[in-house]
Structure 1
């Protein structure tokens, strides 16, 4: 099993956007020192608590501040972009940083529909498959027009998904598949099974490769991990209530969080379901749960996202997780 990191570049209470981006770079440097497989940056729009809107610029900034780390998009939401411009932008990045740039590609807009219209100005948008093939054509230089300096460059593509639709597509194209079980756990098993069953080898990939996204919060004791996880729970609650909050300092307990924000039993149940594949606890507990998940779902790589308020404790959590994953490999 390999370990990677996903970053949505969240703002913490008391931070501005510049400080959130500085924290993104700091975490990237840690990721490089730990030797993680890849570091991906998400794309979201019209969300005041996230700085991950101009993803390609954040990727460039991360690449410039690291030396060997592979950095990619988690992902480029193709409905928001003309494939031609994506090819030009990421072709430029790959020219500046050879062998370090990756393209995770998604079919969702990563925002609400009003913002999606603002991004594309109401343009009629092709099917996701058509966009993918057009984008690939620019790198292979087989389209009627060329996208320089992308033409002729090899950049690895990854299909992102949170439903079974993306599993069929990744299998048909013979590409690696990254499933977002950190926010859509319901279809994970079915989607991975479809992908592995229908996978067609391609010139890009001989056999299936599955990356699972998961929330992960590790600490020396169970109590410490549970307390740190209250930040994540409030962040997730904000998604449910459409109240986009910055990362909040942890509460003493979940009970204090429930009481402070009047969280109903139904909301608590939703949060529990959403956290079904979250790895929260000590290294020993997380190692056991990862082993159990590997028996349940065949996956090759864990891509962790960690909503921890204190940056130092977040870095320590990732260090513990890397040790756990290395011990299972």
Structure 2
């Protein structure tokens, strides 16, 4: 199975942005040595939780400090960028590092309305995503009236990212690879895969459908240790539900331990309100929100993850598994990727 890595470039507790960027490079070097073929960096804005705001710069940094692994954006959110400038940036990277640059593009602005306004002057570009993708492809093909040198006729694979069937339709119609974000929208995973394969039209870039499935994954020597490590991810998810931006926290106990501590006995504020809510109701709300995410994560010992992946393949037709591993300890994170490669690669 083809395996690859998605890095959200998270900050860890007691660390700052420079530490997160150094960790990003160390992980890329580590997974390259393990034999991974692809390493993508995400894009986030207006958050102190992730250091991945200037994605193209991070891609360049990783490319300059590795030698064989493909490096790309997973992805560039086109509502945040002018397609011409994206083509120029990634065309330049491809000229500097031939055969090693990927470009994943997504429809979601990936931020709040105020930040979107600051980035692109309030332009509502989400609805123009299909046109933006075709414009971007035109710059690489040299068919636009403006020439985005050195992107023209440069071999930069473009992949459509998505968390719904909308992007699956687009990727299939344009004959492009499709990367589905099951690490954030697992409920749509099966339907998006079905749509993409059913509607795919061969193109000059791709003759047959190619689906990259992005998932959360943590592998450890035992199921119990993998579950303990996963509590960092659970804490991060609960923070997101609350609209908070805390860095990654050290693991503690079990996911249920995290939930119990997240809701104090006397009750807690509901989302966007200072009113107290019933503790059991809020606990159940968190459990229900986390349930599909955890159910569609690969978490466990090598044997457990092997069986989870076999079950996944019976439900979803995919060509490549891209894994995001939100683990607090860097050594444990790299060990997880080592065990994953040993188990599935």
TM range (shorter): over 0.9
Q: How far, CA to CA, are the matches of 2:111 and 2:29 in structure 1?
A: 29
Contact 2:106-2:160 at 8 Å conserved across structures: yes
Q: How far, CA to CA, are the matches of 1:260 and 1:275 in structure 2?
A: 18
* Alpha-carbon offset, residue 254 of structure 1: 2.5
Aligned residues: 326
SS where residue 275 of structure 1 aligns?
A: helix
Contact 1:182-1:275 at 8 Å conserved across structures: no
2:128 maps to which residue? 127
* Alpha-carbon offset, residue 325 of structure 1: 1.4
Contact 1:10-1:51 at 8 Å conserved across structures: yes
Work out whether 1:66 is the aligned partner of 2:66.
yes
2:313 maps to which residue? 294
Work out whether 1:114 is the aligned partner of 2:133.
no
Contact 1:76-1:104 at 8 Å conserved across structures: yes
- The gaps in structure 2 that reach 5 residues or longer are 264-281
Over residues 255-281 of structure 1, what are the superposed CA-to-partner deviations in whole Å (9 max), with x where a residue is unaligned?
Answer: 331222116121112111222210110
Over residues 121-170 of structure 1, what are the superposed CA-to-partner deviations in whole Å (9 max), with x where a residue is unaligned?
Answer: 12353611111111111111111111111122121010100000011101
* Alpha-carbon offset, residue 15 of structure 1: 0.7
SS where residue 295 of structure 2 aligns?
A: coil
Work out whether 1:228 is the aligned partner of 2:229.
yes
| Greater Cα shift, 28-37 or 53-62 | 28-37
Structure 1 outlier segments of 4+, above 6 Å: none
* Alpha-carbon offset, residue 29 of structure 1: 0.3
Q: How far, CA to CA, are the matches of 2:122 and 2:230 in structure 1?
A: 40
Query: Structure 2 matches for 1:288-327, cutoff 5 A?
Result: 288-326=307-345
Query: Structure 2 matches for 1:204-283, cutoff 5 A?
Result: 204-262=205-263, 264-283=283-302
2:194 maps to which residue? 193
The TM-score normalised by the length of structure 1 is 0.97
SS where residue 73 of structure 1 aligns?
A: strand
Q: How far, CA to CA, are the matches of 2:213 and 2:284 in structure 1?
A: 29
SS where residue 127 of structure 1 aligns?
A: helix
- The gaps in structure 1 that reach 5 residues or longer are none
Q: How far, CA to CA, are the matches of 1:196 and 1:280 in structure 2?
A: 27
SS where residue 57 of structure 2 aligns?
A: helix
The TM-score normalised by the length of structure 2 is 0.93
Over residues 287-312 of structure 1, what are the superposed CA-to-partner deviations in whole Å (9 max), with x where a residue is unaligned?
Answer: 00101110111111110000100000
2:303 maps to which residue? 284
Contact 1:60-1:93 at 8 Å conserved across structures: yes
Query: Structure 2 matches for 1:95-114, cutoff 5 A?
Result: 95-114=95-114
| Greater Cα shift, 173-182 or 253-262 | 253-262
